[in-house]
Amino acid sequence: MKLAFPGQAARLSSSEEASAGSSRRTMTPRGAGRLVGRFVRKAGTPLLVLYALGLGAFLGLASADWATRGGYPFGGVRIGPWMAWPRAGSANADPYTRAVNARRGEIPLAVGEGLLMTASEDDEGRSLDASCTYAISGAVPPARAWTITVAGRGPRDPNRPHIRDGFTSTEILRQQDGRFVIVLGPEVEPGNWLPSPRADGPMRLALRLYDTPAAASAASLDRSVVPSITREGCAP
């Protein structure tokens, strides 16, 4: 004991220190801890205060950055494969949502304006891949107008012809019962063909409902009123 801790503070060291044995002089983790301990003892309280302040500032800022980067952390409603954040644009949005909006420069749709739903997975929970073909079929909640768009990660590939990013409710081809099928895939398809934005990689779909009563009651939407996303096959 005396050998390892020649100062008065040796008395403060915990009993487990004794089991480490003073005979071992190699740089074990415990030995490193002892070195730190000796260093701290010499520098004293100011160093500990600095350490606490530094830890607080670093962890606090890093966690705040992490929580407000990317998507909204709270308040999402899952409807089938779609996620909606009905309160993202309202005045009583939570502070994290507000911070995310401020960092992205986003102007969210207000409750009276519409509702945004996004999907990055298909019905079975596999993430949407640009090399696969998907059928987006069904109906949408009542709305005056809606658009469905697809986006890949990062900027658009300049080598691919830019045919369309999405469909609006006006231009889509419907079946006789008012339902529709959109085929999202890399190869040309008859009917409503939505070309994949990139050759491969993840994709996101966005369904925007404008002037819809569903915005006020997004939590009670049933998955039968939103389009389903089924994978039809993937390019090898």
Partner 1 sequence: MRLRIVYATLTGLVLAGLVHIMAVLAIPRLAETDAVTRAKTSENLDHPQAVYALATGDAPAPQEVWLPIPDPAVAVGVCAFDLSDGPMRVSARTGNLALSLAAHGRQGAFYAVTDQAAVRGALDLVILTRAQYDQALADDDENEPSRDVRIVAPEGQGFVVVRVIAGLPSQREAANAAVRAVSCTTDAPDDEPRKPGGR
CB of 127: closest distance to partner 1 in angstroms?
17
Specify whether the CB–CB gap between 89 and 109 falls below 8 A: yes
Residue (7 or 21) nearer to partner 1, CB: 7
Among 22, 28, 168, 224, binds partner 1 (CB under 8 A): 168
Q: Which helix (H) or strand (E) holds 84?
A: strand 82-84
- Locate tokens 């494969």: which residue? 81
DSSP 96-112: HHHHHHHHHT--PPPTT
Q: Which helix (H) or strand (E) holds 137?
A: strand 132-138
Contacting partner 1 within 146-165 (CB under 8 A): 147, 149, 151, 162, 165
Q: What's the rounded Cα separation, in Å, for the pair 183 and 185?
A: 6
Contacting partner 1 within 20-59 (CB under 8 A): 37, 40-41, 48-49, 51-59
Interface map 125-144 toward partner 1 (x if CB under 8 A): -------------------x
Q: Is 108 in the site for partner 1 (CB under 8 A)?
A: yes
Q: Is 123 in the site for partner 1 (CB under 8 A)?
A: no
Tokens of 118: 């996004």
Residue (101 or 230) nearer to partner 1, CB: 101
Distances from the Cα of 45 to the Cα of 4, 50, 52, 206, angstroms: 21, 9, 11, 55
Q: How many residues bind partner 1 (CB under 8 A)?
A: 66
Contacting partner 1 within 189-208 (CB under 8 A): 204, 206, 208
CA dihedral of 123, 124, 125, 130, whole degrees rounded to 10:
-70
CB of 176: closest distance to partner 1 in angstroms?
21
Among 79, 99, 115, 203, binds partner 1 (CB under 8 A): 99
What sign does the CA torsion over 122, 152, 170, 143 have?
positive
Binding site for partner 1 (CB under 8 A): 9, 12-14, 17, 37, 40-41, 48-49, 51-61, 63-65, 67-68, 89-93, 95-96, 98-99, 101-114, 144-145, 147, 149, 151, 162, 165-166, 168-171, 204, 206, 208, 210-211
